[in-house]
Chains A and B, each alone.
Chain A
Amino acid sequence: MIEKFFTEAVLVGIIASGIRLATPYLYASIGETFGQRSGVLNLGVEGQMLLGAFAAFYVSLTTGNLWFGLLAAMLTGLIMGLGMAFVSINLQAVQGISGIGFYLFGLGLSDLLFQKLMGTVVTVSGFRPIYFPVLSDLPIVGQIFFNHNILVYGAYAMVFVAWFVLNKTTLGLKIKAVGESPEAADSLGVSVSKIRYLTISFGGMMSGIAGASLSIALLNVFQQNMTSGLGFIAVALVYFGGWRPIAVMGGALLFSMVNSLQLWVQVLNIPIPSDFAVMMPYVLTIIALVVTVQRVRPPSALTKPFERGH
């Protein structure tokens, strides 16, 4: 039975599909990593993704230019991020609750705009897989690594950019200082508000791109609530990865590949009930999360509003 898995088509399918499926998680969770490292939990990721997905889709559809669509998603996410920053920094609202508020706002508004501006489900011609001369034609490796669209590659590139910024730059040091001890950072002249505004709005922008990666690159369609909880999984992946970009990528790839594996389990008619198969990625994530949580400590100031002099 298990030997069915060890064929080229299945293994290539699982890995290539896992790489592709991880894309929206990567954008959203890398953005969220920045916010959380600076001490702000944004549970509105899903809403930002939905609005980003709609903006990208609608602008691409009306202008015929996918790059304008991507830009619209980034701007939409950025505005949502600025809103979240205002609520959590200036108004010092409870972050978990306000994040849920932003999620519901994104869910409702994206649907409303979809109903009013489009009215029915249509498709766009999204970003196509890039052809790399020679490389794309390689057996196995070509299919796994060199047959994806630009937003897939962008997601993995952002992981390394995030790692570099957080670990090798002064800005990264400031972000971590603000997330660990905002009082100490403040006393050394680092503006806690400015850093948090920067990270949350960047996170919003990344969530917008995550939405765009679905609507104009992977699926090329917009539908009400199309993210279907993906944004919340992205937040969980930040914890899973212990607030470190490379580990977050590992978590996203693991989750996506197990998801892809369970699709193959069913297609290969392996006698596991479908209910158990679809549970696989979630069960594995919970187990890994339990193990990780005992190993890594979250940023000390996470979810705590900062007020000078208090």
Chain B
Amino acid sequence: MDLISNLSLGLSIALQPHNLAFCFVGCLLGTLVGVLPGIGPTATIAMLLPITLGLDPSTSLIMLAGIYYGAQYGGSTTAILINLPGESSSAVTAIDGYQMAKRGRAGIALAAAALGSFFAGTVATVVLALFAPPLAKAALKFGSPEYFSLMVLGLVCAIALAHGSILKATAMIIVGLLFGLVGADLYSGAQRFTFGIPELSDELNFVSVAVGVFGIAEILRNLQNETDRDVMVKKVTGLWPTREDFRRMAGPVVRGTALGSILGVLPGGGAILAAFASYTVEKRISRRPQEFGKGAIEGVAGPESANNAGAQTSFIPMLTLGIPANPVMALMIGAMIIQGIVPGPNVVNQNPELFWGIIASMWAGNLMLVLLNLPLIGLWVRLLTIPYYLLFPAIMAFAAIGIYSINSNPYDLYTLTLFGALGYALVRFGCEPAPLLLGFVLGPMLEEHLRRAMIISRGDPTVFLTRPISAVLLVIAAIVLAVVLMPSVRRKREEVFVEED
């Protein structure tokens, strides 16, 4: 069978010693940034991306992917032990996880999160292996109008799933799209918004943009209220759940995995949404809904499985269509481009070792993460108390080195300052940074396909509606937009996101 031979190709890549080693490094770093305050997976991957350029493409992407799903594990540790989600998709875990820790069941909560995540990761890997190739095959038939409509749908979903105001999220996407256009025009070669500076004609460095809006803005937000972190549980004991715990975990884990696998594919924050959806479902169908919020193991196992499954299936649109579902995937696409791989449906055929290697490495990585997180939990607990003032100078140093070494271009550092300032101002004014980065990455592609589609159709804009796939995508986008704007949904949406903050 094709699937078996493909997976064994993937395993043969993923199990090569140096790939295993870098997968491990990625998982370790991911857990670390998940646990440490003030730096998330997006900024970390952005910073380390240039450093992986010396590696071969598969190894580099395997390591970066490890950071991403590793952070999902690490984030749950802080959520459970100190009621602070180290990473946004663990916000839900904090609700019941911290309550479990308060009742002396921290070890069991950590085990439930890790084992649930492992199960979800394993299933999501199979889902990815099953669904990605046919989708890539279908995408090969896509022309410019389809790509344009697909990106419009992606951006609409990103707006729908952004926190807070829809108006601001839309404006943030446009800001991103505009900055994405800086540089030489693809068709005419005209310099756009470069002030005649040759260093800018290559377009703004997206690593600078990502580190600016996610890294610097985040450090500044942490400096605003520097406090010591209080770890209530100094020593975690009793990691192994009882038979009763296992029985209560099973259902939520399976349902969370299913929800996460589906929602992860959506653009705009699949893992976070999946965790919320899973929590809501578990609370609704539970025979003991009154226990939720007071340390119900279902409220830890379900959302943790969902966010890990979502984190992994969000690779599907990235690997098959070359379209990012979230900022981390946007960075992965950037990594591929820098490595000379054209992201899109051809990756499966032209770089099978990369495609299947990444998928297989996820399974290996998840196994490593369970081993890293459960027996070594004492180490992570100690890391939780590292004071912030020792961390952020290191973050800044790594960021500067990483950004400068991409092109040896000082302007990339000035871009970092610009986007750090812009990002911090906008975040303080209640805007989400994720839509900006998505817009920034999609801007050039969106324009290219729009212009190409208009040339092909001789200036007839109905081309987007007369081609069936494109029309369907646009109709879905319109429906999503209409649903989000409905007054009842809007109110509900605001409630959900307020709860999260």
Do these two chains interact?
no
Interface set of B (CB-CB < 8 Å, partner A): none
